[in-house]
Every structure is written in structure tokens, then in C-alpha cells.
Amino acid sequence: MGKNIIAGNWKMYKTNPQAVSLVRQLKRRLEKKPANKTMVIVCPPFTAISRVKDELKGSKIAVGAQNISWEEEGAYTGQVSAQMVKSAGAKYVIIGHSERRRYFKEDEKLINRKIKLALKNKLKVIHCVGETLEERKQNLTQDIIANQLEWDLKGVKASELKNIIIAYEPVWAIGTGKTATPSQAQEVHAFLRTLLDVFYTEGTGKKMSVLYGGSVKPANAERLLSQPDIDGALVGGACLAANVFMKIISASEKVGK
Ligand code: PEP
């Protein structure tokens, strides 16, 4: 753990001119009001990674991809590899996002392959886990999280964990406007750290960054980020306008860590 991390997942939004305009505004705002306690990451669509990276020259904002293929290379029409996003300028990649688990039927085995491939290609991983509303209602939150963490990270060495950021994203809170309460999020974050201690060694959980994601907005960011086990946020909808995203970054600066 070090600085708070505020990462923006742009999903399937922003053409290249829109992407450039967004990062230009963000860069300008961060020049005026530097984020000293917060690491900012933007994850544009594949098509804009290279352009965004160029635009961010001289800035501390890092760039991430939203996905990579499970294969190194090959005849896989439409797929984009770890090496490709790396060469386009991505330093991070989001893996295990619930939208990919749900719409693209990505299971733990596939996510595990992608995580290993990302690490092999020196990409840092933002690894998402989270339960659905049904699972929460049935009191299965901890089982689901434990299962995802165990199988997604199968065979990942303790020495590689420094290149992994965990994001707890309750599926029912993503894009719905419903946020986990700070105490609901805190509870799962603390549980995630305990799991990391169990799967690896005592003290592992404390060393890792665990972000919260799910309808983080300027209005709720400070309360969420104040929780002791929340090290930042993975932001969807609220990262698409520079002034709104900037308010979340400012909340992180205010809370510090
Ligand atoms: C996300 O896509 O990771 C996310 C958290 O989205 P939103 O902030 O829109 O809920």
C-alpha cells in the first residue's frame, strides 16, 4: 500500500477525439491542483490507449487497458493481446470485471490465464471481484469472494502480488446508482485482506491495495475512501467527465492515507 489509487474505467465510451479532450482537461486540472496522495489511472478503450498515452506525456496519470486476450498471440480475430496493449502504452489492465464475467462468460479459469499472462508481460493487474445481489441476499458474499480470489489467483506467486491491485465491486452496485454503504464495503475489504493472509502468508493483505468500485460519485467518495481498508476507487460512470472525476480525486486527496 502507498498512495490511494483512483482508477477510471471508461468502458465502451469515448471516440479518439473525445478521449483526447477528456485527458487534456484532466491533465490541466491536475496541473492546477496536483494529486500528491493519489495515483490516478485512466483505462480508455483499446482504440484510444496510444493516443491517450501520447497526450499524457509529462503527466503522472497512468494508462490502463480494460481487457486482454487469454492467449499470447494467434489467429483470434478481434482479440487484443497483453503485448499489444503494453506496446500501446498501457501499464495496467483490468481483469475479472463483472461485465466481462457476465456478458462474455469469463470464468475463473479464463481470468486466471489472463492474470498470469498480464503479469508475464509486465502489466499490472486491477483484479475485480464481487457478488451479485442474489448472492448477497443469500448470504453468500464471503463464499463468492473467497472462491473468485482463490481460483482467479491460482498459481500466482506471492512475489507477483505487488503487481496486483484488488478491486471489490459488488455487481449490484455497478452502474446502478446503488452504492455499498461504507460499512458494507469496509467489511468485505477487511475480509479480502484476511483471505490474502490465508492464501499467502500473514501480513500479505495489509500490503496490498484494495479498491472499491460500484457507483462511486463525488457525493459518496469521501465517506467510502475514509474507511480504513479502502485504498481507492475504481470508477465507471463518474470518470467520463473531467470535472466529476476530479472531485473524486480531490476526495481522495482530502482523506489521504
Ligand atoms: C465499474 O465499471 O468498474 C464501475 C464501478 O462502474 P460505476 O462506477 O459506473 O458503477
Q: Is the CB of 118 under 6 A from ligand 1?
A: no
Q: Is the CB of 169 under 6 A from ligand 1?
A: yes
Chain mean pLDDT for the chain: 96
Residue whose CA is at the smallest distance from ligand 1 atom 2: 236
Q: Is the CB of 215 under 6 A from ligand 1?
A: yes
**Ligand 1 center–CA 202 separation, angstroms:** 31
Q: Is 169 a catalytic residue?
A: yes
pLDDT in tens, 108-117: 999 999 999 9
Active-site residue (options: 97, 106, 131, 135): 97
Structure confidence at residue 1 (pLDDT) = 54
**Ligand 1 center–CA 193 separation, angstroms:** 22
Structure confidence at residue 215 (pLDDT) = 94
Assign residue 93 a region: left if phi > 0, alpha if psi is -120 to 50, beta otherwise? beta
**Region 67-93 average pLDDT:** 98
Reported as a pLDDT band with limits 50, 70 and 90, residue 4 is very high
Contacts of 26 (CB under 8 A, 6+ apart): 40, 42, 61, 242, 245, 246
**Percentage of the chain with pLDDT > 90?**
95
Give dist(CA 97, CA 127) in Å, integer: 7
What angle is formed at CA 84 by the lines to CA 78 and CA 54, rounded to 5 degrees?
A: 115
Residue 257 has pLDDT above 80, yes or no: no
**Region 209-223 average pLDDT:** 97
pLDDT in tens, 147-203: 999 999 999 999 999 999 999 999 999 988 888 999 999 999 999 999 999 999 999
Q: Is the CB of 214 under 6 A from ligand 1?
A: yes
Residue whose CA is at the smallest distance from ligand 1 atom 4: 236
Q: Which atom of ligand 1 approaches the CA of 176 most closely?
A: 10
**Percentage of the chain with pLDDT > 70?**
99
**Region 119-145 average pLDDT:** 97
The pick from 103, 212, 234 for probing ligand 1's pocket by mutation, whose C-beta has the most ligand atoms within 8 angstroms, reads 234
Number of continuous H segments (helices) and E segments (strands) in the chain: 11, 8
Q: Is the CB of 8 under 6 A from ligand 1?
A: no
Residue 142 has pLDDT above 70, yes or no: yes
Residue 3 has pLDDT above 90, yes or no: no
Q: How many CA atoms lie within 13 A of 33 on its CB side?
A: 16
Q: Is the CB of 224 under 6 A from ligand 1?
A: no
Strands (DSSP E) found in 81-193: 92-95, 124-129, 164-168
pLDDT in tens, 50-77: 999 999 999 999 999 999 999 999 999 9
